[in-house]
Structure formats: C-alpha cells, structure tokens
Chains A and B, each alone.
Chain A
Amino acid sequence: MNRPDAADPTQREARLRAWLVAAQAGDARAYHRFLEALGALLRGFFRRRLARMPDEVEDLVQEALLAVHNQRHTYDAAQPLTPWVHAIARYKLVDMLRRHGRQALVTDPLDDEVEWLADPQPQAQEARRDLGRLLATLPDKQRLPIVHVKLEGLSVAETAQRTGLSESAVKIGVHRGLKALAARIRGSADEDR
C-alpha cells in the first residue's frame, strides 16, 4: 500500500481492476488483496460522508464488502472500475441512511467519483453489528457450507462429504447464504433502531 507508485489514483485503479478481473477468473489471492485495498478505500469514503455518524462506518464497510462480493459478477472488465465500486458504495450508503430515516446527515456530496480513490483508511474500527452472529441464524444448508468452505477452508468436495450435500448444493449454499446474510443485515438494521 505504501510504495510510492501506489499513491497515484490511476495506478491504484489499474491494480484494483487487475486483481478483481483475476478474482473473477478464480484467483483467491488476488481477490484477498482486492478486498483489503477496497475495504480501506470504502472506509475513507464512508468516514468522510458520515462525519456525524462515525459508529456506523465499520458496519457499512462490512456491508459494502459483502455487497461487492455478492455482485462481483456484475463488473464488466471492459469498463472502468471506479464507477462500479462507487455506485455500489453509494447505493449501500443511501440504503443505510434511508433505513435510519436520516438522509440529511450526509456531510458531503455523493457524486464525486474522482477523489474516492485518494484516501485509503486501512485501520479498521470495531464493527457494532456481529456478522458471525447473523451467520449463525442461517438455515443449515447455507450455514454449513459457509462454515466449512469459507471459515474452515475445506474444499467443496470435502464439505460435500461431511455434510451429505451434493457439491453443487454446497456451492449454491455458499452463494445463497451470503446473499441471505446481506438480506439479514438489511432486516436486522430495520429492527435494531
């Protein structure tokens, strides 16, 4: 992150894009780098916009990362990355503010795409919402594939053996489970406050 060339937003965009394209093709290490760098950028983006709601920032970073993951197939490698990420971040920010009925609290205009790459914030705060607890509320056919494949790092085949599900059911369980998790976040945010 701190190499001199990394400070240039154009290069940052190019690197993020290359990682995401590699991830779409199945490169998990590139994907990890992508999500780490993106998390820092999202944190900077939300901190600036939520100066009066600082406690919401980390929850929103997590929610946006999950959204990017669940919709990662909608990124078209022929298009620039910044508008795509920006649109997702903005959508999640507006959605969260609407849930809270506090649209007026946005401290910055939302449509500035250019500067958002400029100010990464790698230092995570404490999240208020516990995704682990929400994960535990998913039905078994979604929760178990996520626990084995995504938390314990077992292969799809091993998970299928252990759970008695078919391999495609394991993959679908992970996919639907993470989408359901995003839906739980929206639902729990409605109830919480």
Chain B
Amino acid sequence: MKTDELIDLLARGPVAADPRAAGRTWGMAAALGAVCATVLVLLALGLRPDLAQAAHAPMFWGKAGFVAALALLALPLGRRLGRPGARAGLLAWAPALPVLALWALAFAALGSAAPQERAALVLGTTWAVCPVAIVVLSLPGFVLAMRAMARMAPTRLRAAGAVAGLLSGAIGATAYSLHCPEMAAPFLAVWYVGGVLAVAALGALLGPRVLRW
C-alpha cells in the first residue's frame, strides 16, 4: 500500500474523535476502582467495629486523607502522561509531598516515643496483613487504570504504568482505611506507603509490555 493510499484510507468515513473521552475513561477507572475496593472491604473484611468513635479521631481522617490525596494527585498526572508531548512538570513530584509529610510525622512520633515502644509504633498489630490487603483491594482498580492508560498514548511506558499503579494503590489503601484499626503515623509510613508502592512497582513492571501502541 502506498502512503497516499493509506492517507486516503485513514481520512475516509467517520473521522471524529472526542479529545475528552480518554480522560473520562481514566476518571471512570478511578471511580469504579474505588467502588470495587469499598465493596470488597465491606464483604471480605468488614468496617472497623469502632468506626463511629474512630471517626472523631483526627488520625483516622489523616490516614484516609493521606492516601486519598495520593490518588487525587495521581489522577491529573496520569492524564498528562497519557498525552504525547505534555510535560508532567511539577505535577510529577506532587505525590511525593504527602509521603514526605507522613514520613516527617512518623519520625517525630518515633523521636518522642520511648525506645521500647518504637517497634510497636511501626508494627502495630496488623503489619503482616496491611500491605497484602492493600495490594489485593487495589487489583480491580489496577486492571481498569492500566486499560484506561492503554487507551491513551503514553510515551514513557514505565512512568505511565507506575502512575496507574499509584492511582489504584492509593484508592485501595483509602478503602482499606475503613477497616484498618491502626492509627500510628510510623505504621502508615511503612505499611501503607509500602502497599501503595508495591502496586506502583507492579505498574512500572508491566507498563512497557502492556501499554505499547
């Protein structure tokens, strides 16, 4: 086929394309991922029994707010990475801010705690479950986010995969916070961040394979 014939072919018939569709699909992936993760929490884990009291504690909202902020920062970042030639700029570093803030809180908490209490602050009572639960809860959103990213046109496949993982991991962690009894910043700084980063790493690993176009 000659190039002129290819151009004729491509330009024939309906050629309209909605430039907002891909961004909508990406947003829908986040919303559906949040619904799936919340339903999974309700069915498989249950809300934490003391949710009514916990809702009065600032740290409960701090925890949910931290992971929700990560998801909200990953949303526009993913849209940029999905558009060829769009620069991520400062937005690329934005997800680091809540993490650094949490780590600062965690170091402050560890510094003011007695040495023999520090291990308990980091490990809590559920450290073995937490990151695994976050990864599992993230998986439906992860599949949706990777598919939505594949419908855009990322040129940095590893970064795009990582951000799809970051988005779904943060959503899974937000849902998990409805179940999770832990309230100590050092626990969150290690296990929540670890769970979310594991999903982001999975995305970075798969990105170059599944996001090619």
Closest chain B CB from A59 CB (angstroms): 10
Q: Is B1 an interface residue (CB 8 A)?
A: yes
Residues of A within 8 A of B212 (CB): 95, 186
Kindly report which residue of chain B lies nearest to residue A186, judged by CB atoms.
B212
Kindly report which residue of chain A lies nearest to residue B8, judged by CB atoms.
A32
A73, A95, A149: residue with the most chain B Cβ atoms closer than 10 Å: A73
Query: Which of the segments A9-17, A47-55, A61-69, A101-109 contacts the partner chain?
Result: A61-69
Residues of A within 8 A of B90 (CB): none
Bound CA span A118–B11, Å: 24
Q: Is B18 an interface residue (CB 8 A)?
A: yes
Please give me the 4 A-B residue pairs with the lowest Cβ-Cβ distance, nearest first: A83-B85, A87-B84, A26-B16, A87-B85
Q: Is B83 an interface residue (CB 8 A)?
A: yes
Q: Is the CB of A124 within 8 A of B3?
A: yes
Residues of B within 8 A of A146 (CB): 9
Residues of B within 8 A of A76 (CB): 19, 83, 86
Restricting to A30-46, which residues have a CB under 8 Å from any CB of B? 31-32, 35-36, 39
Q: With A65-B3, A73-B17, A84-B83 in contact, is A151–B9 under 8 Å at CB?
A: yes
Q: Is the CB of A131 within 8 A of B11?
A: no
Q: Is the CB of B85 within 8 A of A86?
A: yes
Bound CA span A66–B153, Å: 13
Which of A39, A88, A178 contacts B7 (CB under 8 A)? A39
Bound CA span A82–B84, Å: 10
Q: Is the contact region of chain B dominated by helix, strand, or loop, or is it mixed?
A: loop
| Given A23-B11, A124-B3, A149-B12, 4 extra CB contacts under 8 A | A58-B3, A66-B10, A70-B213, A75-B19
Which of A29, A62, A171 contacts B14 (CB under 8 A)? A171
Q: Is B205 an interface residue (CB 8 A)?
A: no
Q: Is the contact region of chain A dominated by helix, strand, or loop, or is it mixed?
A: helix
Closest chain B CB from A135 CB (angstroms): 8
Restricting to A173-190, which residues have a CB under 8 Å from any CB of B? 174, 178-179, 182, 186
Q: Is B128 an interface residue (CB 8 A)?
A: no
Provide the B70-107 mask, 1 if CB < 8 A to any CB of A, else 0: 00000000000011111000000000000000000000
Q: Is B164 an interface residue (CB 8 A)?
A: no
Q: Is the CB of B19 within 8 A of A62?
A: no
Restricting to A100-135, which residues have a CB under 8 Å from any CB of B? 124, 127, 130-132, 135
Q: With A79-B86, A91-B155 in contact, is A36–B7 under 8 Å at CB?
A: yes
Bound CA span A131–B5, Å: 10
By a beta-carbon cutoff of 8 Å, the part of chain A in contact with chain B is 23-29, 31-32, 35-36, 39, 58, 61-62, 65-67, 69-77, 79, 82-88, 90-91, 95, 124, 127, 130-132, 135, 146, 149-151, 153, 155-156, 171, 174, 178-179, 182, 186
Using C-beta atoms within 8 Å of the partner chain, give the interface range for chain B.
Answer: 20 to 34
B1, B6, B16: residue with the most chain A Cβ atoms closer than 10 Å: B6
Q: Is the CB of B83 within 8 A of A150?
A: no
A90, A131, A156: residue with the most chain B Cβ atoms closer than 10 Å: A131
Q: Is the CB of B18 within 8 A of A32?
A: no
Q: Is B206 an interface residue (CB 8 A)?
A: no
Residues of B within 8 A of A178 (CB): 10
Q: Is the CB of B155 within 8 A of A62?
A: no
Kindly report which residue of chain B lies nearest to residue A151, judged by CB atoms.
B9
Q: Is B4 an interface residue (CB 8 A)?
A: yes
Bound CA span A24–B155, Å: 21
Bound CA span A131–B16, Å: 23
Q: Is B2 an interface residue (CB 8 A)?
A: yes
